[in-house]
Structure 1
């Protein structure tokens, strides 16, 4: 005997009733299919719009590469002047074709006895080409073996110097007779002052008692340290 016998007294469904039931089921399926299709279309369309939106900056950059001027007369640009030399820059603000390209270039000229303040760049490496003159370099690196890597050397005309991102470094004019000219290339669109942390700013970011504890000297030892912080410092040896 079947566990779930079909009752004998079920009402008989005539042809009209069956047709009506099929129409209702068919309509429901169509509505459900339309809803799912609409949701999929909205999702795909939304994704496409999102992709188009996210691609807009790249498209704008590519357009600029086609339409903006490709020539910038770097050494003829008006320089920023400092006590020990000058700085000229080609970046998004002065050379629009670089917009979105993660690149900027600077022409640095140090007079005899001048130095570029010890500093580092948090978001960029730099590649330096010595155009003329002779430079003293110091680059302070990390210490995976327990000791700091302090690389000090002289670079002359025609030499390349690479400074990794975030490494503390300095360079100065080593000649007693002629200016030092250096071309500096960065892998960032940020202007030089916006990605530059100098040693004076570093010292002034810390309380004097913390500095004294770190150096093992009296707080008064830092009394002569200037409190004015400048974005870029090119000065002379004292």
Structure 2
């Protein structure tokens, strides 16, 4: 069977692999070659086992090479642990847009749900509240956030790229894009079934309450309330707000005792090696964030987020930049590898072993979030290094010299 140009699919596949090998050699980057070798192990002698002469989505297949041609170490039936915001329905408004990934789209993601939102300069995510707590990471630009707690204490703060915020369950709040180009951010909720489009909006509530009741509640005339919108606004365009200090003064009263804001970008890395670094934000240093812990991980080309697991919670990931592959070990001989790109979401079940490898020639940056007040992980290397060596040797059949070379301290990102 041939393509329209007369070139067979098999020839295209072979030429593509050859081109990839040539490019890898030219750049001196070995990771791609290692992955190709992994995939070669189980191929048939004629290479027909890796061909795909039938219908296919070439673009999607090229982005997920480790699904089509998995490493020989993959085995068994492991549920998909990848989804992409690029597949999510995008709700667009004058003032911004929003799209989400919940358990309805991504069945494995039971503990956490995510929203990717963009606001123009002046664009407002209207005053609202919801049952789950909201954790946020600023991807781009600048925004102003506001909140009021159950005792009437206010919070008004400007946030920029690399900053976090956290709004506890039920606390009403708003977000507004600032000059010059608004903001884009990631929201994570501590309930995988939560929908961002089912929140309690101030405009929606007012529109569905009799004007006479509103007038009695606020002590004003019904006529004064006629301009209230007849339906929810959700996201809408407004003028860019004035100075932060002016809004803070206007909010008045006492401020919340525990700030809902945290500058992750200003923190020193918790771990740093020549291959990358990790910054951690949990209730130890971001006191307000009592239900979500997080890590911002940077892995340089050729680096690896070391083999590890998290004993206290499932892991919800968001890929910010770069390319990666992750292998998840699910016990009983089950392992699966999937590829990740910017805007993708990954999910790893509690205590499931995994690693994340940078497969590109630029830095890999991703976020790990957990439904837990604290960040915890267990390093495979550290476990081995702090277990009696004779016991390890009896299990793995490796010599003492090799055992002595294994790092004794948690590296997070390797090589050291």
Superposed pair shares fold, TM > 0.5 = yes
CA contact (8 A) 2:143 2:182 kept: no
User: Deviation of residue 74 (structure 1)?
Assistant: 2.0
Q: TM-score, normalised by structure 2?
A: 0.37
One of 81, 84, 92 as aligned partner of 1:70: 81
CA contact (8 A) 2:123 2:177 kept: yes
User: Deviation of residue 191 (structure 1)?
Assistant: 1.6
CA contact (8 A) 1:90 1:104 kept: yes
Counterpart for residue 121 of structure 2: 112
SS at match of 1:213: helix
The CA distance in 1 between the partners of 2:232 and 2:142, in whole Å, is 28
The equivalences for 1:73-152 within 5 A come to: 73-75=84-86, 77-98=88-109, 101-121=110-130, 123-143=131-151, 148-152=152-156
Higher helix share: 1
1:191 aligns with 2:157: no
Counterpart for residue 44 of structure 1: none
CA contact (8 A) 1:117 1:235 kept: yes
User: Deviation of residue 73 (structure 1)?
Assistant: 2.0
Q: Which runs of 5+ in 2 are unaligned?
A: 1-76, 240-416
The CA distance in 1 between the partners of 2:237 and 2:88, in whole Å, is 23
CA contact (8 A) 1:68 1:96 kept: no
Q: 1:42-75: per-residue Cα shift (whole Å, max 9, x none)?
A: xxxxxxxxxxxxxxxxxxxxxxxx7321112225
The CA distance in 2 between the partners of 1:201 and 1:141, in whole Å, is 20
Aligned alpha-carbon RMSD (Å):
1.7
User: Deviation of residue 85 (structure 1)?
Assistant: 1.2
CA contact (8 A) 1:134 1:173 kept: yes
User: Deviation of residue 178 (structure 1)?
Assistant: 1.4
Q: TM-score, normalised by structure 1?
A: 0.64
Structure 1 pair 108/158, CA: closer, same or farther in 2 (3 Å)? same
Higher gyration radius (CA): 1
The CA distance in 1 between the partners of 2:139 and 2:149, in whole Å, is 25
Counterpart for residue 315 of structure 2: none
CA contact (8 A) 1:75 1:107 kept: no
User: Deviation of residue 228 (structure 1)?
Assistant: 2.2
Counterpart for residue 236 of structure 1: 237
The CA distance in 2 between the partners of 1:181 and 1:108, in whole Å, is 6
Structure scoring higher RCO (CA < 8 A, sep ≥ 6) equals 1
